[in-house]
A and B are shown apart, each in its own frame.
Chain A
C-alpha cells in the first residue's frame, strides 16, 4: 500500500455555475490509486456535475482536475482523446447503443481505437462479458436485456479498453436489492482484479458502505467531509447523519432551493 499514489486524481478549487447558480462550490479532494472512492449526495447536490467535470465532459468555471499531476482541462482535443482511453465510464441508464448487439457494444471502443483483427476484438469482448457474468449473451439485442444485465454490459464496455480509472454514475439506481448487491460485488471484484481506481457517484447508502474505501459527502455543491466509512458513520455533522440514516427531521429540507443537475 505504501507505493500507491496518494494523489492519483486531485480536484482543486473547483467551481461550476449554471446560469449564475453555483452548482459546485470550491471543491477540493484527492483520490488514491486503487481505491473505491464514493461521492454521495442527494438529488441536485451537484454530484453528477462533479463526475462529468472529472471526466472532462464539462469544463469548470474555475479550478483544476489533475490526473498524475496533469490538469485535464488544459489538454487539447488530441491529448484529451488519448486521456479518454485511460478511463471507462458506466452510465446511469447504461447508455448502450440499442442498434448494436451486446458484443458489438462492448467491442465498439476496441474497434474504434485499435487496429486489431475483428476476430480478436470479438474474443476480447467475450472475455470482458465473462468478467461481468454475461457469457453467452453476446448476440442478444440490448432491448432483450433486463436493467441489471444492461448495467453489467455497460460495465463490460467501460473496462473494454483496460482502463486505469472507471467512473460509475449511479450504478445501482433502479435495481432490486439482490441485483444491487451483485453489481456492488462486481465493482469490488473488478477494482481488485484489474487494479482499477473506481470513482462511484450514488445515493444508495447500503451500497456505499458495502463498496467504499473512502466517501465524500456533497451537499448543495459543497464538500462537507471526505473520510473512511467509519469517519463518515461517526461524523458529527447533522447533515451527514440525517443523510446516511435517511431521516425526515433534520437540517436537510426537500423544499429548499435545490440546485438541479443540469446534465
Chain B
C-alpha cells in the first residue's frame, strides 16, 4: 500500500517537474522571440517560414481528412435523434457548434501533436545524441533561441490557421451528409448553421489553438533536449513527447472550456 502511494507521489512529482521545466522553456523561448533583437539576435524569419510550410501547408490534407470525416460522423450520429423530434435540420447547427467549439481545435491539435510534435522531438533528440546541441552551445549559440524560437513561432501562426480549416472542413462534412442522405435543402442547411453559431463559439474555438501550439512545440523541444542514449533514446523521447502533448492538450482544453463557461465575456 505504501509502495503504491509512493509510486503515485513519485509520478506526480515527475509530472510537476516536467510542467515546471516546460514552463521555464516557454518563458525563455518567448524572451528570445521578443527581446532577441536587443541582443542583436533577431528571429530568423527564413527558418520560421520554412517551418511554417512544413508544419502548416504540409499538414493541410491530414487535418482536412480527420475533421471532414468527424463532421460526417457527428451528422450521422445526431440525425436519428433529431428525426425522432422532426427537427432534422438542427443537425447543421449541432455539427457546427460541436466542431467550432470543441472538436475542430482539439482534433487538429491532436493530429498536429502526432505529426509535428513527434517530428520536433525526433529532430532535436537526434541533434542531442549526435552532439549537435553541445556543438551549438560550444559555439556560444543558445539552442533555445536557435532551435526553439522558429518552431514555436511557426506553430503559433499555423495551428490557428489549420484549426480554421479544420472547422470549415468539419462543417462541410456535416453539410455533405445533411444535404444528401438527410435531404435538407442546402440553403436552409447553411442558414440554420449560422443562425445558431454565435461569435463566441468561433473565438473560443480559435483562441484554444494558440495555447495548444505552445504546448506542442514546447513539449516537443523539451523532450528533444532531454533525449539520451542513441536511437532507442530518440524513439522513447518521441513517444513520451506525443503522450505528454496529448495529456497537456486535453487538460488545457478542459481548463480553457471551464474559463469560457464560468467567465462571461
Cβ of A96 within 8 Å of any chain B Cβ, yes or no, is: yes
Checking A96, A98, A108 against B141 with a beta-carbon cut-off of 8 angstroms, the contacting residue is A108
Query: A109: CB under 8 A from chain B?
Result: yes
Task: Decide if B40 touches A115 in the complex (CB within 8 Å).
Answer: yes
Residue ID in chain A nearest B134 by CB atoms: A57
Q: A112-B41, A115-B40 are in contact. Are A57 and B132 (CB under 8 A)?
A: no
Decide yes or no whether B207 CB sits under 8 A from chain A: no
- With an 8 A cutoff between CB atoms, is B137 at the interface? yes
Contacts of B132 in A (CB 8 A): 95-98
A113 to B138, CA, bound (A): 13
Contact at B134–A85, with CB atoms within 8 Å?
no
Answer yes or no: A229 CB below 8 A from chain B CBs: no
A134 to B139, CA, bound (A): 21
Q: Is B135 an interface residue (CB 8 A)?
A: yes
Q: How far is the CB of A199 from chain B (nearest CB, A)?
A: 13
Interface residues on chain B, size class = 10 to 19
- Which of the segments A86-94, A121-129, A190-198, A218-226 contacts the partner chain? A86-94
B119 CB to nearest chain A CB (Å): 12
Q: Which residues of B from 35 to 51 have beta carbons under 8 Å from A?
A: 40-41
Could you tell me if B140 and A113 are in contact, using CB atoms closer than 8 angstroms? yes
Determine whether A189 belongs to the interface, using a CB cutoff of 8 Å to chain B. no
User: Are B138 and A112 in touch, CB under 8 angstroms?
Assistant: no
Give the residue name and chain of the A residue nearest to B228 (CB).
A262
The answer to whether the Cβ of B130 comes within 8 Å of any Cβ in the partner chain is yes
Query: In the bound complex, do residue B139 and residue A57 qualify as a contact, i.e. CB atoms below 8 Å apart?
Result: no
- The reply to whether A84 and B138 form a contact with Cβ atoms under 8 Å apart is yes
Q: Is B131 an interface residue (CB 8 A)?
A: yes
Complex: A89 Cα to B139 Cα, angstroms: 8
**Chain A residues positioned under 8 Å from B138 (CB to CB):** 55, 57, 84, 89
A95/B140 contact (C-beta < 8 A), A112-B41, A115-B40 known = no
CB of A95 within 8 A of CB of B141, answer no
Judged by a CB distance under 8 angstroms, whether A61 is at the interface is no
**Per-position binary interface string of chain B over residues 160-188, scored 1 when its CB falls under 8 Å from any chain A CB and 0 otherwise:** 00000000000000000000000000000
**Which residues of the other chain, B, contact A115 by a CB distance below 8 angstroms?**
40
In the complex, what distance in Å separates the CA atom of A58 from the CA atom of B190?
63
Q: Are A57 and B137 in contact (CB under 8 A)?
A: yes
Instruction: Give the docked Cα–Cα distance between A158 and B136 (Å).
Output: 11
Minimum CB–CB distance from B17 to chain A (whole Å) comes to 18
Asked whether A93 lies within 8 Å of B139 as measured between CB atoms, the reply is: no
Cβ distance A72 to chain B, nearest Cβ, rounded Å: 13
Task: Write the nearest CB–CB distance from A159 to chain B, whole angstroms.
Answer: 12
A89 and B135 form a contact (CB under 8 A): yes
Measured CA separation A37–B230 after assembly (Å): 30
Chain B residue at minimum C-beta to C-beta distance from A109: B139
Docked CA distance A96–B127 (Å): 9
Minimal beta-carbon separation of B15 from chain A (angstroms): 24
Residues of B within 8 A of A81 (CB): 140
One digit per residue, 1 when the CB lies within 8 angstroms of any chain B CB and 0 when it does not, for chain A 56-68 equals 0100000000000
Known: A95-B134, A97-B136, A109-B141. 14 other contacts (CB 8 A): A57-B134, A57-B138, A84-B138, A89-B135, A89-B138, A91-B134, A95-B131, A95-B132, A95-B135, A96-B135, A112-B139, A112-B146, A115-B40, A157-B139
Q: Which residues of A contact B (CB under 8 A)?
A: 55, 57, 81, 84-85, 89, 91-93, 95-98, 108-109, 112-113, 115, 157
Query: Can you identify 27 A-B contacts, CB atoms within 8 angstroms?
Result: A55-B138, A57-B134, A57-B137, A81-B140, A84-B138, A84-B140, A85-B140, A91-B134, A92-B131, A93-B130, A93-B131, A95-B130, A95-B131, A95-B135, A96-B132, A96-B135, A97-B127, A97-B135, A108-B139, A108-B141, A109-B140, A109-B141, A112-B41, A112-B140, A112-B141, A112-B146, A113-B140
Binding site for A on B (CB under 8 A): 40-41, 127, 130-132, 134-141, 146
Which 7 pairs across A and B sit closest by C-beta, in order of nearness? A95-B135, A84-B140, A95-B131, A109-B139, A81-B140, A89-B138, A91-B131
